[in-house]
């Protein structure tokens, strides 16, 4: 089973959270390689028979430029990081591919919940012999966050968690955010 | 909305149904162009919250060689032909693409119901100014069938039904089969 192990930290939020400039300097010192920023638009869907907010799952269509993907995320499996089962696959590109998949989901009674739009700057960092994914996310209305992520399997999940947490400590990131962007935006909406 | 208008007729089944040789001769006379036979393996899924058998819907993963597609079929909209909403889109090719999509559906609590394997010989026929799709299907355990199909929209659906029914009459096909292959196989199973 493919697992996503992830921790997310607010930046520029006061209360000891680092600024972007501080985190950029620390990541640069560790050799982080950045890619160009991309606009990601995620559309989340509600399941016809269960409350994903209660079951802690998510079903998402993501558009990045012309590329589209569908992603299922299972419930979080531990308390500190956000380790969860992830199933992700590409779907037909372009607006039409996205619209057709959304139409399929809606015919099956999945209901669109909300869109989450963000600018993501992806980075890659070698840490303790692993390639760790970094994402600097600017999310309208809720702020700037740094995500640290590894995609792994069940055997390696605990070691992956340790690696991510030690990197977070090295970066001076202590106040992790367990809520998803969707959850935060729904709270801001209400 | 994309609609599939379809009629299906048993061949070689006695009771006045034509033989394959007879139907081939009649189709040849009308200029039917055949393509090479293909093996199609369809895996049908049950919805987590409603009984597709009762609602007359279907969700299917189809494998044809290395290509995969997902298809939703809505309830039949008329009594004579099988006119129904159809949403179909390609998914990642190969065994892995199919397995990954099936895993996504099962994580969302769709349950695999049954596989339907058949050899389909596709044909194309010009009839009353339309390109009509023909399929000669050999389905293990339930026999040989000829399908006549048009993909159209709501405005054209009635005219498409008339065209298909007149072609069926021309081909000497009178006893249409409204059940799906899946329904027939489930009846044979039970």
Q: Which residues of B touch A91 (CB under 8 A)?
A: 89, 91
Question: Which residue does chain B place closest to A45, by CA atoms?
Answer: B108
Query: Cβ of A74 under 8 Å from any chain B Cβ?
Result: yes
pLDDT grade for A22, boundaries at 50, 70 and 90: very high
**Residue A14 per-residue DSSP state:** S
Tell me how far apart the alpha carbons of residues B83 and B151 are, in angstroms, rounded to a whole number: 9
Q: Which residues of B touch A103 (CB under 8 A)?
A: 87
Asked if the model's pLDDT at residue A30 lies above 90, the reply is: yes
pLDDT digits (tens, 9 = 90+) for B134-188: 999 999 999 999 999 999 999 999 999 999 999 999 999 988 998 999 999 999 9
* Number of CB pairs, chain A paired with chain B, less than 8 A apart: 53
The pLDDT > 70 percentage for chain A reads 100
Q: What is the pLDDT of residue A2?
A: 87
Element (H, E) at A158: helix A157-170
Tell me how far apart the alpha carbons of residues B85 and A143 are, in angstroms, rounded to a whole number: 43
CA dihedral B9, B10, B15, B16 (to 10 degrees): 50
The pLDDT > 90 percentage for chain B reads 88
Q: What is the pLDDT of residue A1?
A: 84
Query: Cβ of B34 under 8 Å from any chain A Cβ?
Result: no
Query: Cβ of B108 under 8 Å from any chain A Cβ?
Result: yes
ipTM of the complex: 0.87
Task: Spell out the alpha helix ranges (H) of B17-144.
Answer: 20-29, 52-55, 94-107
The mean-pLDDT minimum among A40-54, A80-94, A108-122, B103-117 falls in A80-94
Count H helices, E strands: chain B?
5, 9
pLDDT digits (tens, 9 = 90+) for B156-168: 999 999 999 999 9
Q: What is the pLDDT of residue B89?
A: 95
Q: What is the pLDDT of residue A78?
A: 78
CA A96 to chain centre: 25
pLDDT digits (tens, 9 = 90+) for A113-152: 999 999 999 999 999 999 999 999 999 999 999 999 999 9
Q: Tokens standing for A53? A: 């907010």
Asked if the model's pLDDT at residue A82 lies above 90, the reply is: no
Q: Which residues of A touch B101 (CB under 8 A)?
A: 89
CB atoms within 10 A of CB A140: 11
Cβ contact B70–A104 (<8 Å): yes
pLDDT digits (tens, 9 = 90+) for B57-94: 999 999 998 999 999 999 988 777 788 999 999 999 99
- Give the mean pLDDT of B19-28: 95
Q: What is the pLDDT of residue B82?
A: 80
pLDDT digits (tens, 9 = 90+) for B109-134: 999 999 999 999 999 999 999 999 99
Query: Cβ of A19 under 8 Å from any chain B Cβ?
Result: no
**Chain B closest-CA separation from residue A86 CA (Å):** 9
B142 φ, ψ (degrees, to nearest 5): -120, -10
- Give the mean pLDDT of A40-51: 96
Q: Which residues of B touch A3 (CB under 8 A)?
A: none
Task: Name which of B72, B87, B104 is nearest A72 (Cβ-Cβ).
Answer: B104
Residues A166/A30, Cβ–Cβ less than 8 Å: no
Residue indicated by tokens 């027939």: B184
Q: Is the pTM of this model over 0.90?
A: no
Q: Which of residues 114-143 of A touch B (CB under 8 A)?
A: none
Asked if the model's pLDDT at residue A167 lies above 90, the reply is: yes
Q: Which residues of B touch A50 (CB under 8 A)?
A: 48, 109
Provide CB contacts within 8 A for B129, sequence distance 6+. none
Would you list the DSSP string of B157-182?
A: HHHHHHHHHHHHHHTT------S-HH
């Amino acid at each position: 089973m493919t697992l996503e192990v992830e921790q997310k930290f607010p930046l520029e939020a006061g209360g000891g959270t680092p600024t972007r400039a501080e985190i950029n300097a620390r990541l640069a010192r560790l050799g982080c390689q950045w890619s160009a920023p991309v606009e990601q638009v995620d559309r989340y869907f509600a399941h016809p028979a269960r409350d994903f907010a209660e079951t802690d799952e998510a079903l998402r269509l993501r558009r990045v430029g012309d590329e589209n993907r569908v992603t299922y995320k299972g419930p979080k499996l531990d308390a500190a990081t956000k380790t969860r089962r992830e199933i992700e696959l590409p779907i037909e590109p372009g607006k039409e591919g996205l619209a057709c998949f959304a139409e399929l989901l809606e015919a099956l009674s999945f209901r669109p919940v909300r869109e989450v739009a963000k600018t993501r700057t992806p980075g890659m960092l070698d840490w303790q012999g692993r390639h760790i994914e970094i994402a600097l996310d600017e999310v309208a209305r809720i702020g700037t966050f740094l995500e640290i992520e590894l995609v792994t399997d069940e055997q390696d999940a605990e070691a992956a968690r340790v690696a991510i947490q030690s990197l977070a400590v090295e970066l001076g990131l202590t106040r992790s955010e367990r809520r998803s962007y969707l959850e935060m935006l729904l709270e801001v909406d209400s």
